[in-house]
Amino acid sequence: MAYNWLPPLITRNGNEEDQAYLDRLYGVFRHDFIAQKQVFNDLPINIKRHPEYDGLFANKHGTFRHLITEGPDENNRTIAWDRCERIGWMRAILQNSGSDDVCVWKNTRQTNGDAFIFALSDFSFKLVLTERHIKAENRSFLL
């Protein structure tokens, strides 16, 4: 299925080093979620700065690392290159969540509270926002 509103994949340029590629992806992430704050259901979508990491992820938000890696153990996740290529899709999916191209549903979790799942209608890509209730007046979502 073609989603004409999705930005193109962000692929590596030729022999681009891992660090240069991740820095370029991080620039997209910063533009989409830090410089331009996003909202869902009139609540802000927040980004976790911590934990901080060394190496390829030094000086980058913890949420960025989580979004482009995979694995059950947060400390030992590996880079998922297909997720890297789609980092620009996340904001577009949130912004098109009212269209027939995006399925959205609430998932009640026992440990981290409620989550909203956003998936392309063919389920080829999904995104999770976790609802946070630190204080009643400070409700938000965590990407």
pLDDT surpassing 70 at residue 131: yes
Query: Is pLDDT of 109 > 90?
Result: no
pTM: 0.86
DSSP secondary structure string for all residues of the chain: ---TTSPPP----TT--HHHHHHHHHHHHIIIIIIS--EETTEEEE---PSP--GGGTTS-HHHHHHTEE-SSGGG-EE-HHHHHTTTHHHHHHHTTTSTTEEEEEE--SSS--EEEEEETTSS-EEEEEEEESSGGGEEEE-
Q: What is the CA radius of gyration of the chain?
A: 15
Q: Residue 17 and residue 21: Cα distance in Å, rounded?
A: 6
Span 18-70, pLDDT tens digits: 999 999 999 999 999 999 888 888 888 888 776 666 677 778 888 888 899 89
Q: What is the pLDDT of residue 108?
A: 83
